[in-house]
């Protein structure tokens, strides 16, 4: 039987004998002093350490050490390791003797440790690993080597030698963890020759004026070919002994190590498990040796701290430590985090509302539960809930929101204490406070992973966890603080659809003692024990110092809840109560503000507008943001051109011409000459000027209740202005033709009958000026007239009358152009007419100030009478880029078809509503230019002006924006951005239905 170095006692020469033999073999002399060693005799002689090996030591084992040291000197000359004195290994009385340079410094175990020193230790060992890359030696293959972490199984039988039951149990768990997590991965871990013993007495620290530094590593006696990651695991097993925070200290070491020598994913997965293995082996081995050599105190010297550290590591979930190791290595802690979050943000992820109403449109109050915040100043949940209800009432809110990633003082109880110095105090979910028994809904389709009652004080109470899939990657959503009824309502394994009720809000007697709310959090990994499975509980708060790991494990639940960013911002300067007085003081009082409760809108996106509190409003009225608010294509086209050049039409510029040609191409022949303006009013002004110039006449025939713009000339032809409050009445040069309103007009839907009034008005012009009208101007659907769609043959007949009176026909397409009517690009096209002049505005630049006049080459030529037409801003390259981008989007997103589809859907639903609400006298419009004529009595058609205003205000309260118009302000006007979808339409109809039922019950059958 061969003896091991542990079984033969260390050699024990007297110092003089050592001095003599060293002088003799190595030519080294100097003061001598004994150094400690477990198995050899070590003596310092001058600047050298002389090592007289145990007689059981083999020559090849020492040759391995010398070869490695020689290799390292070449690979990393600055690495502070012992150098070998010539001639190398000599034999003396059966002992192998060698001399190595003495490295100054105190053992790491004896100096004050710091994050910086630990980081340096990690770096030092990383350099060792890098330096030893590619090094090989036959003696490195030590199949029976006890300390090799790869052979952990060999020490398992010695666990029985651990006297204390608790100690034995913790060591057993470490070995179990090794079997479960490390063993299967061994074939996937890199191999290398490693030092394998960077213990806190082998690492030396040198004090310098700048602070302590790692000054070297000694004792290469445990070198072995093993898993590469063992090097770091052994280093950590000592570096973490008795530190205040093992995860933080581990981060120091690992981050240093990987800065020099990167680790693979699998290595990071097991490194902490191997730390536990090393500690367990160390306790097992020392307990075994203790039994064999009861007098050798050195053997158990490190057992107590090793057990303390082992308990802490075993007390943490292995997957958490895996994520901590990745975090330390500068990687995303949870490997699948990015995949899941990317999916959550992708268009394929369309979460349903977690509460039984549309959270986007719900008024919300965000509260803080941070230390000292008002919400924390209550003796109990009942009082704090009362206070929250008061806050909601004051703000007209439906829900109180508690923040993700907020450091809170409200968590008390043992379950918030961890191995970290500080408790878990940072909230990892979003809280939605709402009255008990409110239904809670699955946001995505999924399967119930767990339903449990976590009934500790300050815990979750009844909790449901759903499993979902981000393509192939599972993730989970936890809904906590539910009611006990939830436990009977839903069961593990149930499949749930998005929107399905999965539970109910619990009250403080069952929900852990909180004001009623649901805590929602997403989990990218359950960290479940593979043997016992997930127990239905998962931390809802993390340690502040470990939040980088927690954020990866529990990303912001708002990825699914989708409260707008403004919800969480301080927008107090944007509050209506702040802005309204400023507006009154700063801007002219002729400007009106929509709705009784004025809105402060801070952002738009698609069909949605968002106020200063982040509350969303479905925009059913803004036809200027034609292709959707803040459309990225339009915004970037504007930004790009603005960053390059913005001049005017006095220079040649290709963009202006490209746009003019593209715009003109959307018109029927002979309309093909374009003038650019800055607004619809300017376009109509120019149209009048062209008409007046080419006819030499001044009088205009316009439709009753029409509106064409804000200039003096246009107000004079806009009955909607001059006939109403503040108006000066009809001027003599304006001649009004009847509004051809099939619902309220005198001739029903007889178009030619209404058109006769155009001839009459033209005749009046002739009477007035002796020549006749310069122009007949009409919108293609009357907007201010009340969304009035003209009857068949009206416009064609009206044009005939106008033209036979010598007038130019102007189509005002400022409101309805650019495909809003769905079937054609321009409203007049539906009537089979070709105007002489068409005016454009509003949607043309999606909000960018732009307008245009399109006419025939012949009129344009006659208009060019010598007087220049110049417009400083009209047709500038930035505006043209905006206009071009709008045409791109209309084409690319197929928006005419969308307008038609959503519009037809709306009309059908409005007609359904009209069967139940007699207040709806008429449903009319084309595409997404619609009106509901509200009446007090269907037979008299008496306009329900007040009701229309009330409905508009009620819808605004519910987060839907519409406006009213028409001569009696009783027509609900619907003209949303044409990206409006059927589901947007359904929101509008649902709210309209409720509002009518509520506000006009008498008119509701």
Ligand X SMILES: Cc1ncc(COP(=O)(O)O)c(C=O)c1O
Stretch that binds ligand X, among 197-205, 410-418, 674-682, 894-902 (CB under 6 A): 674-682
Contact residue for ligand X among 250, 480, 680, 772 (CB under 6 A): 680
Stretch that binds ligand X, among 190-198, 259-267, 460-468, 676-684 (CB under 6 A): 676-684
Stretch that binds ligand X, among 125-133, 249-257, 630-638, 708-716 (CB under 6 A): 708-716
Q: Measured on CA atoms in the order 259, 263, 269, 271, is the torsion positive or negative?
A: negative
User: What's the closest the beta carbon of residue 810 comes to ligand X, in angstroms?
Assistant: 10
Cα 158 from Cα 82, distance rounded (Å): 34
Residue 493, SS3 per DSSP: coil
Looking at the Cβ atoms of 683 and 774, the one nearer to ligand X is 683
Looking at the Cβ atoms of 707 and 828, the one nearer to ligand X is 707
| Both tokens assigned to 831 | 């009537």
User: What's the closest the beta carbon of residue 816 comes to ligand X, in angstroms?
Assistant: 8
295 contacts: CB under 8 Å, gap ≥ 6: none
Looking at the Cβ atoms of 336 and 593, the one nearer to ligand X is 593
Stretch that binds ligand X, among 25-33, 464-472, 528-536, 680-688 (CB under 6 A): 680-688
User: What's the closest the beta carbon of residue 710 comes to ligand X, in angstroms?
Assistant: 6
Nearest-CA neighbor of 613 among 663, 563, 553, 664? 563
Chain Cα centroid distance, residue 439: 26
Q: Is the peptide bond before 500 cis (omega within 30 degrees of 0)?
A: no
Bridge pairing between strands 837-840 and 808-812? parallel
Stretch that binds ligand X, among 193-201, 319-327, 812-820, 941-949 (CB under 6 A): 812-820
Chain Cα centroid distance, residue 266: 29
User: What's the closest the beta carbon of residue 837 comes to ligand X, in angstroms?
Assistant: 13
Is residue 468 within 8 A of residue 497, CB to CB? The reply is: no
Looking at the Cβ atoms of 622 and 797, the one nearer to ligand X is 622
- Tell the residue number behind the tokens 């205040």, with chain if given: 244
User: What's the closest the beta carbon of residue 491 comes to ligand X, in angstroms?
Assistant: 58
Stretch that binds ligand X, among 291-299, 501-509, 702-710, 957-965 (CB under 6 A): 702-710
Q: Is 681 in the site for ligand X (CB under 6 A)?
A: yes
Contact residue for ligand X among 230, 564, 797, 815 (CB under 6 A): 815
| Both tokens assigned to 918 | 């007699």
Q: Is 507 in the site for ligand X (CB under 6 A)?
A: no
Stretch that binds ligand X, among 132-140, 658-666, 678-686, 924-932 (CB under 6 A): 678-686
- What CA–CA distances, in Å, run from 213 to 118, 122, 128, 217, 935? 10, 12, 16, 12, 88
Q: Is 623 in the site for ligand X (CB under 6 A)?
A: no
| Strand residue runs (E) in 121-276 | 191-194, 203-208, 211-217, 224-227
Q: Is 82 in the site for ligand X (CB under 6 A)?
A: no
User: What's the closest the beta carbon of residue 611 comes to ligand X, in angstroms?
Assistant: 24
Looking at the Cβ atoms of 685 and 699, the one nearer to ligand X is 685
User: What's the closest the beta carbon of residue 697 comes to ligand X, in angstroms?
Assistant: 22
**Vertex 249 angle, CA 245 and 255, to 5°:** 145
Looking at the Cβ atoms of 364 and 708, the one nearer to ligand X is 708
Q: Is 333 in the site for ligand X (CB under 6 A)?
A: no
Q: Is 302 in the site for ligand X (CB under 6 A)?
A: no
Q: Measured on CA atoms in the order 405, 406, 408, 410, is the torsion positive or negative?
A: negative
Looking at the Cβ atoms of 41 and 879, the one nearer to ligand X is 879
User: What's the closest the beta carbon of residue 661 comes to ligand X, in angstroms?
Assistant: 23
Q: Is 679 in the site for ligand X (CB under 6 A)?
A: yes
Stretch that binds ligand X, among 45-53, 725-733, 807-815, 830-838 (CB under 6 A): 807-815
Q: Is the peptide bond before 670 cis (omega within 30 degrees of 0)?
A: yes
| Both tokens assigned to 598 | 């004025």
Looking at the Cβ atoms of 655 and 815, the one nearer to ligand X is 815
| Residues shown for the chain | 1005
814 contacts: CB under 8 Å, gap ≥ 6: 680, 683, 684, 708, 709, 779, 839, 840, 841, 842, 851
Site residue total, ligand X (CB under 6 A): 15
- Tell the residue number behind the tokens 């189509």, with chain if given: 811
133 contacts: CB under 8 Å, gap ≥ 6: 75, 192
Looking at the Cβ atoms of 319 and 741, the one nearer to ligand X is 741
Q: Is 977 in the site for ligand X (CB under 6 A)?
A: no
Stretch that binds ligand X, among 3-11, 232-240, 339-347, 705-713 (CB under 6 A): 705-713
Cα 487 from Cα 483, distance rounded (Å): 8
799 contacts: CB under 8 Å, gap ≥ 6: 776, 809, 833, 835
Stretch that binds ligand X, among 413-421, 545-553, 673-681, 959-967 (CB under 6 A): 673-681
929 contacts: CB under 8 Å, gap ≥ 6: 623, 781, 783, 787, 815, 816, 820, 821, 903, 974, 975
User: What's the closest the beta carbon of residue 711 comes to ligand X, in angstroms?
Assistant: 8
Q: Site residues for ligand X, window 49-68 (CB under 6 A)?
A: none
Cα 539 from Cα 523, distance rounded (Å): 10
Q: Is 708 in the site for ligand X (CB under 6 A)?
A: yes
Cα 836 from Cα 854, distance rounded (Å): 8
Cα 799 from Cα 835, distance rounded (Å): 8
Cα 547 from Cα 563, distance rounded (Å): 22
User: What's the closest the beta carbon of residue 851 comes to ligand X, in angstroms?
Assistant: 6
Contact residue for ligand X among 219, 267, 812, 836 (CB under 6 A): 812
Bridge pairing between strands 960-961 and 616-619? parallel
- What CA–CA distances, in Å, run from 36 to 43, 49, 107? 8, 11, 12
User: What's the closest the beta carbon of residue 853 comes to ligand X, in angstroms?
Assistant: 12
x/- mask, ligand X, residues 820-849, rule CB under 6 A, reads ---------------------xx-------
Q: Site residues for ligand X, window 769-788 (CB under 6 A)?
A: 779, 783
User: What's the closest the beta carbon of residue 706 comes to ligand X, in angstroms?
Assistant: 7
Contact residue for ligand X among 101, 376, 391, 710 (CB under 6 A): 710
Looking at the Cβ atoms of 708 and 909, the one nearer to ligand X is 708
Contact residue for ligand X among 432, 638, 814, 936 (CB under 6 A): 814
Looking at the Cβ atoms of 192 and 778, the one nearer to ligand X is 778
Contact residue for ligand X among 215, 255, 684, 970 (CB under 6 A): 684
| Both tokens assigned to 496 | 């749930």
Q: Is 721 in the site for ligand X (CB under 6 A)?
A: no
Q: Is 965 in the site for ligand X (CB under 6 A)?
A: no
Residue nearest to ligand X (CB): 680
x/- mask, ligand X, residues 627-666, rule CB under 6 A, reads ----------------------------------------
Q: Is 713 in the site for ligand X (CB under 6 A)?
A: no
Cα 230 from Cα 460, distance rounded (Å): 40
Looking at the Cβ atoms of 479 and 720, the one nearer to ligand X is 720
Nearest-CA neighbor of 401 among 429, 441, 367, 378? 367
H or E stretch at 929: strand 929-937
User: What's the closest the beta carbon of residue 841 comes to ligand X, in angstroms?
Assistant: 4
Strands in 734-737's sheet, in edge-to-edge order, are: 673-677, 851-855, 837-840, 808-812, 775-779, 700-703, 734-737
Q: Is 716 in the site for ligand X (CB under 6 A)?
A: no
Cα 775 from Cα 809, distance rounded (Å): 6
Question: Footprint of ligand X on this chain (CB under 6 A)?
Answer: 679-681, 684, 707-710, 779, 783, 812, 814-815, 841-842
């Amino acid at each position: 039987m061969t003896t091991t170095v542990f079984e033969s006692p260390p050699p024990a020469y007297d110092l003089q004998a050592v001095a003599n033999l060293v002088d003799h073999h190595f030519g080294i002399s100097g003061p001598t002093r004994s150094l400690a060693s477990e198995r050899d005799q070590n003596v310092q002689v001058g600047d050298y350490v002389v090592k007289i090996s145990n007689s059981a030591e083999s020559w090849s084992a020492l040759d391995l050490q010398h070869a490695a040291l020689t290799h390292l000197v070449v690979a990393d000359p600055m690495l502070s390791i012992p150098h070998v004195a010539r001639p190398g290994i000599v034999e003396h009385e059966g002992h192998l003797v060698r001399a190595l340079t003495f490295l100054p410094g105190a053992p790491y175990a004896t100096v004050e440790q710091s994050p910086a020193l630990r980081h340096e230790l990690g770096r030092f060992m990383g350099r060792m690993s890098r330096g030893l890359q590619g090094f090989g030696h036959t003696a490195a293959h030590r199949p029976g080597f006890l300390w090799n972490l790869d052979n952990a199984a060999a020490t398992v039988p010695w666990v029985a030698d651990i006297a204390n039951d608790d100690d034995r149990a913790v060591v057993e768990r470490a070995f179990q963890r090794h079997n479960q997590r490390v063993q299967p991965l061994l074939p996937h871990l890199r191999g290398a020759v490693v030092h394998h013993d960077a213990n806190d007495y082998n690492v030396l620290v040198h004090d310098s004026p700048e602070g302590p530094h790692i000054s070297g590593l000694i004792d290469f006696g445990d070198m072995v070919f093993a898993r590469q990651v063992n090097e770091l695991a052994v280093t950590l097993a000592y570096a973490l002994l008795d530190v205040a925070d093992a995860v933080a200290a581990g981060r120091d070491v690992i981050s240093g190590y990987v800065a020099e020598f990167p680790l693979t994913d699998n290595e990071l997965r097991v490194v902490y498990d191997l730390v536990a293995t090393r500690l367990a082996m160390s306790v097992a081995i020392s307990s075994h040796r203790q039994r064999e050599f009861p007098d050798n105190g050195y053997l158990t010297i490190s057992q107590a701290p090793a057990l303390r550290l082992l308990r802490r590591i075993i007390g943490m979930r292995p997957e958490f430590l895996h994520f901590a190791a990745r975090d330390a290595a500068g990687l995303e802690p949870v490997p699948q985090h990015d995949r899941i979050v990317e999916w959550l943000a992708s268009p394929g992820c369309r979460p349903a509302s977690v509460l039984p109403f549309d959270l986007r449109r719900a008024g919300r109050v965000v509260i803080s539960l941070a230390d000292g915040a008002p919400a924390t100043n209550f003796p109990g949940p009942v009082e704090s809930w009362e206070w929250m209800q008061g806050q909601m009432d004051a703000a007209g809110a439906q829900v109180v929101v508690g923040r993700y990633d907020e450091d809170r003082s409200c968590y008390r109880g043992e379950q918030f204490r961890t191995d970290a110095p500080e408790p878990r105090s940072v909230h990892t979910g979003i809280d939605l406070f709402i009255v008990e028994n409110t239904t809670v809904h699955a946001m995505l389709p999924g399967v119930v992973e767990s339903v449990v009652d976590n009934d500790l004080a300050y815990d979750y109470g009844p909790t449901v966890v759903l499993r979902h899939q981000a393509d192939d990657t599972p993730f989970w959503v936890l809904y906590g603080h539910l009611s006990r009824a939830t436990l009977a309502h839903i069961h593990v394994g149930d499949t749930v659809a998005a929107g399905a009720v999965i539970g109910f809000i619990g009250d403080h007697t069952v929900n852990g003692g909180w004001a009623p709310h649901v805590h929602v959090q997403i989990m990218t990994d359950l960290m479940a024990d593979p043997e016992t499975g997930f127990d239905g509980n998962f931390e809802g708060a993390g340690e502040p110092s470990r939040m980088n790991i927690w954020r990866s494990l529990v990303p912001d639940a708002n990825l699914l809840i989708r409260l707008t960013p403004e919800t969480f911002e301080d927008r107090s300067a944007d509050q209506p109560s702040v802005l309204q007085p400023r507006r009154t003081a700063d801007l002219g009082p002729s400007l009106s503000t929509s709705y009784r409760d004025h809105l402060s809108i801070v952002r738009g996106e698609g069909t949605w507008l968002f106020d200063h509190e982040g509350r969303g409003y479905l925009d059913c009225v803004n036809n200027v943001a034609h292709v959707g608010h803040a459309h990225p294509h339009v915004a970037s086209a504007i930004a790009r051109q603005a960053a390059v050049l913005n001049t005017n039409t006095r220079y040649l510029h290709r963009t202006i011409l490209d746009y003019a040609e593209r715009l003109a191409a959307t018109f029927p022949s002979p309309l093909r000459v374009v003038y650019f303006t800055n607004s619809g009013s300017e376009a109509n002004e120019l149209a009048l000027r062209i008409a007046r110039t080419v006819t030499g006449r001044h009088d205009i025939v316009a439709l009753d209740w029409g509106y064409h713009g804000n200039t003096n000339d246009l107000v004079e032809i806009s009955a909607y202005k001059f006939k109403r409050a503040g108006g000066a009445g009809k001027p003599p040069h304006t001649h009004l033709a009847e509004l051809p309103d099939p619902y309220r007009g005198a001739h029903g839907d007889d178009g030619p009958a209404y058109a006769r009034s155009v001839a009459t008005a033209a005749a009046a012009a002739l009477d007035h000026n002796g020549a006749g009208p310069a122009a007949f101007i009409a919108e293609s659907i009357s907007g201010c007239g009340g969304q009035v769609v003209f009857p068949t043959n009206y416009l064609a007949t009206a044009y005939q009358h106008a033209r036979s009176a010598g007038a130019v026909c102007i189509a005002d397409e400022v409101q309805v152009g650019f495909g809003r009517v769905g079937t054609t690009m321009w409203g007049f096209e539906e009537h089979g007419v070709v105007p002489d002049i068409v005016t454009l505005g509003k949607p043309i630049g999606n909000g960018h100030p732009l307008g245009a006049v399109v006419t025939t080459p012949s009129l344009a030529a006659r208009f060019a009478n010598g007087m220049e037409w110049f417009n400083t801003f009209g047709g500038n390259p930035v505006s043209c880029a905006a206009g071009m981008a709008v045409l791109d989007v209309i084409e690319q997103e197929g928006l005419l078809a969308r307008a038609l589809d959503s519009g037809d859907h709306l009309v059908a639903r409005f007609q359904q509503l009209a069967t139940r609400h007699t207040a709806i006298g008429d449903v009319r419009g084309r595409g997404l230019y619609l009106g509901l004529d509200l009446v007090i009595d269907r037979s008299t058609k008496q306009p329900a002006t007040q009701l229309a205003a009330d409905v508009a205000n009620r819808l605004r309260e519910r987060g839907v924006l519409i406006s009213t118009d028409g001569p009696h302000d009783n027509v609900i006007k619907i003209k949303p951005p044409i990206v409006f979808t059927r589901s947007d339409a359904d929101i509008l109809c649902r709210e309209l239905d409720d509002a009518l039922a509520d506000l006009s019950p008498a008119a509701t059958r």
